Each structure stands twice: as C-alpha cells, then as structure tokens.
Amino acid sequence: MSTPILTVAPTGTWNLDAVHSRVDFEVSYLAGTFKGEFHEIGAELNVDAERASLEGSAKVASVDVKDENLAAHLQSPDFFDAERHPELRFAAPDIRLDGDGKVSVDGELTIKGATQPVAVTGTVTPPMADPYGNERIGLNLATKIDRTDFGVDWNNPLPSGELSLANDVTILAELQFVKPGGETSE
C-alpha cells in the first residue's frame, strides 16, 4: 500500500539543486555498457495537501559521453534530434511513498517528440536542513524504457546478424531539491 509523499516532505515548491543532481542513461552496446549524462537539467517538486508532483527536463545538447563525435551523433536525427527536439521532458502528477523510503511514480516521458507512460521507482531522502538555512530532500529514481518507443531506432548490425545497440535503456536520476529559507548554498 502506498501513501502520498507529502507525509515525508513539507508542502510547497522544491527547486532542483542542479549542482548536486544528475541524470544518466545506460544501454548495452557491443560487449559492454555505454553510459552518458545530461549536464543541463531542471526539475521542480511540488507538494500540496493532497499530492506531490514532479516535472523535469534535460537539454539534449548537454549530453556528455566523453567523445565529441559520439555526442554529435547522439544529437543528430539518428538519436535525439536536438535541433527539432532540444529537450527531454518528464512529468508525474503523483509521487507515492511505498514505505521504508521507497517511492513509485507513474509519469510521462517525452523524447524526440514522442510521449510515453513510464513507471519509475526509487528512494526518497527525508528533509534535512543544510548549513545555509534551507531544507533539502533527495529523490533517487530509475526506470527502463524501450528507446524505439520514442523513435530512437538507429542501430548497426554486427557480422553475426545481431544488433550492436540494445533497445532497453536505463535512466537514472539522482535529484536533490531545496526549499529556500536561507542563504545560497555552495
């Protein structure tokens, strides 16, 4: 049985601390796992008397995969098509607390102009005060998607006939939110 997250987080708007947050992805590629990160992210957690909602985005042009040519390919129409679709978006109208700090979220993810429902699970860190007089709360979230559901269909066949890039992609978000009340933190 799940309960609204508001039993953990005080009501109000919580803003993402992008310096202390990250959104990563990983996918099986050839003989290993390929990983990347979006550096320019934004999110807002809203908690009211009845529910908590989450909205977030990542700028496609900020994708970091440690290789400029590969980053450019990921921004091309073969993958994210950054020119036509500059942001990935996530919206969840209700975050539920499942007990022992675990959360479940049913939301919608938009990649390359295609919006699909996604089920996200993770953990919540209870609110705490930082040294600057602000309240902070953490959400660590994960989901697995089929990239082809979003029109990300590129692949390269191997000599064996198998494909080099898996369709299943894991998305991981480590998010720290702050409810202002004091000075700016470092």
Q: Give tens-digit pLDDT for 31-61.
A: 999 999 999 999 999 998 888 999 999 999 9
Whether 156 is covered by a domain: the verdict is yes
Q: What is the mean pLDDT of the chain?
A: 92
Confidence check: pLDDT of 5 > 80: no
For residue 54, being part of any structural domain is answered with: yes
- Number of domains the chain contains: 1
From CA 110, how far away is CA 46, in angstroms rounded? 20
Please provide the distance, in angstroms rounded to a whole number, between the alpha carbons at the two ends of the chain.
38
On whether residue 64 sits in a domain, the answer given is: yes
Confidence band for 182, pLDDT divided at 50, 70 and 90: low
Distance CA 35, CA 24 (A): 7
Indicate whether 116 pLDDT > 70.
yes
Identify whether 98 is part of a domain.
yes
**Whole-angstrom Cα distance, residue 162 to residue 116?**
27
Write down the pLDDT at residue 1: 44
The whole-number average pLDDT for the span 16-27 is 97
CATH number reported for the structural domain that contains residue 124 in this entry: 2.40.128.110
For residue 184, tell me if it sits in a domain: no
Q: What is the span of the domain harbouring residue 105?
A: 3-179
Per-residue confidence band for 3, with pLDDT thresholds at 50, 70 and 90: low
In a domain, 123, yes or no: yes
Question: Residue 186: inside a domain, yes or no?
Answer: no
For residue 185, the model assigns a pLDDT of 47
- Model's pTM, two decimal places? 0.91
